[in-house]
Amino acid sequence: MTSPVDPIGCSGFSRRAFFRFAAGASALASLPILTEAHLALAQRPQFADPNKGIHIDANENPLGPSEAARQAIANIIPRGGRYLFDIQEDLAATFAGIEGLNPESVMPFPGSSQPLHFTVLAFTGKNKPLVIADPGYEAPIWAAKVSGTPVIKVPLADPKGAATHDIGAMLAASSTPGVLYICNPNNPTGTTTSRADIEYAVANAPRGAILLIDEAYIHLSDATPSLDFVKEGKDVIVLRTFSKLYGMAGIRMGLAIARPDLLEKIGSLGGLNALPITAVAAAKASLVDKDLVPTRRKIIGDIRADTLAWLKADGYACTPSVSNCFMLDVRRPGKEVLAAMAAKEIFIGRIWPAWPTQVRITVGTQNEMLAFRKAFTEVMAASTAGLVPPLLPRKLAEHPFTHLS
Ligand code: PLP
């Protein structure tokens, strides 16, 4: 049994795993592979029952797996006594066929966090820094800590407008970068970096640098994918995940797409593990469902547009997101708003130190966003009147991911 204030209850991790993790935080070699959910949990001001309240803090997809994916999982369960490497290969071949790629350029993983982590480990080092946008997705930074790799954070260009990656500044940041990380669309802003800028980065990255293009959210937008650079044999690694539009974060499936020699380096760090056949089957069913991407893009896009329009009408500035998350400027310490919302069991977040008055909001269902609006109106009214309660006490000693925030 777990209580609502039990860190294990809110993370799903076993108690023993948690203590190992916390104890290992200073022993860098044992740092785990982090996902968005770990980072979101690290900023929760209070412990939460995952079955209660509204969770729009980890860029998850409340729609879950598609009907076809659910059916595929049910159908394959009886074969669960076998490893079935053939369906793993079939998944890579199916994706390659759809995208016009060589199947050897596609490597499946249980989510894209693993190949992201491995790419940083394989291609950076003490003299080969990681260059990353800020605010950006920090999981690569946590991977860089494992190898003691220097990290160069480059502020987003036009932060009050398009909030794109500043490709010129990223290229100028180091003469020997190991990895240049471009998240397109970006987490947390939901904004895209233009095709022209990415082409410029591919053409002008210093020799030996890998361009890691994270397309976790690409299906939600109409941004141009970067898979053609892989076909051209460039030093580019593209990551895809089934955690976002496909709603399979808990099922776990992702793909690394790159030249076979680059994949070999990533794979040598742990890419040959057998994958859960349920996840492989669900991913394949999702890929071949032609309606899924446009249907879900529209559902999530409409709710996003509605929420952004409501916030704008109320005088709030948000990043021009084309994804399932956006940054909202609350014009006061974001932490206070996050805590006051959490007290109403509406879990928003996260906050990036570079933008302390902004909070990230994940686009949930329409009902969830209506609940968000109601609570947000109340919180902001109380805050303006000086009534926001003090920050909720945070049980530091018990919190599983405190050291990440
Ligand atoms: N990349 C980005 C930018 C993300 O936001 C996430 C998750 O939120 C991931 C990669 C990895 O997700 P997963 O390991 O679930 O595929």
State the pLDDT at residue 51.
Answer: 79
Q: Is the alpha carbon torsion for 202, 204, 207, 212 positive or negative?
A: negative
For residue 120, CA distances in Å to 99, 130, 140 come to: 25, 7, 6
What is the rounded CA–CA span in Å between residue 180 and residue 131? 5
CATH classification for the domain delimited by 67-287, as one of 3.30.460.10, 3.30.70.20, 3.40.47.10, 3.40.640.10: 3.40.640.10
Answer whether 215 contacts ligand 1 (Cβ < 6 A). no
Q: How far is the CA of 389 from the centre of ligand 1 (A)?
A: 33
CATH superfamily of 13-59+292-402: Aspartate Aminotransferase, domain 1 (3.90.1150.10)
Residue 308 near residue 318 (C-beta atoms within 8 A): yes
Confidence (pLDDT) at 50: 73
Three-state secondary structure call for residue 157? strand
Position 13 scores a pLDDT of 39
Rounded to 5, what percent of the chain is helix, strand, coil? Answer: 45, 15, 40
Answer yes or no: is the C-beta of 46 below 6 A from any ligand 1 atom: no
pLDDT at 253: 98
Between CA 154 and CA 166 the distance in angstroms is 7
CA 345 to centroid of ligand 1, rounded, Å: 24
Ligand 1 and 61: CB distance under 6 A: no
- Residues with Cβ within 8 Å of 63's Cβ and at least 6 positions away in sequence, in order, are 247, 296, 299, 365
Report pLDDT for 270: 79
> Using CA atoms, how far apart are residues 347 and 337, in angstroms rounded to an integer?
10
The label of the residue with tokens 């742990």 reads: 270
Ligand 1 centre to CA of 117 (Å) is 11
The per-residue b/e assignment along 271-285, b for 16 or more CB within 10 angstroms, e otherwise, is beeebbbbbbbbbbb
What is residue 317's three-state secondary structure? coil
Q: Measured from the CA of 59, which atom of ligand 1 is nearest?
A: 8
Please name the amino acid found at residue 366: Q
- Please name which of 285, 277, 252 lies closest in space to residue 109, comparing C-alpha atoms: 252
Query: Ligand 1 centre from 113 Cα, in Å?
Result: 6
81: exposed, middle or buried (Cβ count in 10 Å: 0-12, 13-18, 19+): exposed
Domain residue extents for the chain? 13-59+292-402, 67-287
CA of 68 to the centre of ligand 1 (A): 22
pLDDT at 387: 56
CA of 381 to the centre of ligand 1 (A): 34
Q: Examine domains 13-59+292-402 and 67-287 and report if their fold is the same.
A: no
DSSP sequence for 177-205: -SEEEEESSPTTT-----HHHHHHHHHHS
Output the pLDDT for position 385.
Answer: 67
User: Mean pLDDT per segment of 10 residues, for the chain of length 405 residues?
Assistant: 31 39 43 84 74 92 98 98 96 98 97 96 96 97 92 95 97 98 98 97 97 98 96 98 98 98 93 89 98 98 98 96 97 93 94 96 98 97 66 41 46
257 closest CA partner among 218, 293, 286:
218
Distance 114 CA to ligand 1 centre (A): 9
Kind and range of the H or E element at 214? strand 210-214
pTM over 0.95: no
Which of 120, 219, 244, 327 to mutate to test ligand 1, by most ligand atoms within 8 A of the CB atom?
244
Give the N- to C-terminal CA distance of the chain in Å, as an integer.
27
State the pLDDT at residue 48. 66
What phi, psi does 178 have (nearest 5°)?
A: -85, -50
Which of 41, 112, 217 should be mutated for ligand 1, with most atoms under 8 A from CB?
Answer: 112
Q: Give the amino acid at 297.
A: R
Q: What is the pLDDT of residue 49?
A: 73
Cβ 113 under 6 angstroms from ligand 1: yes
Give the dihedral sign, CA 202/353/58/310: negative
252 CA from centroid of ligand 1 (Å): 10
Cα–ligand 1 centroid distance for 186 (angstroms): 11
Q: Which residue has its alpha carbon closest to ligand 1 atom 1? A: 216
Sequence-separated (6 or more) residues with CB below 8 Å from residue 110? 252, 253, 254, 273, 275, 276, 279
Residue nearest (by alpha carbon) to ligand 1 atom 8:
36
Length of the chain equals 405
Nearest-Å Rg of the Cα atoms of the chain is 21
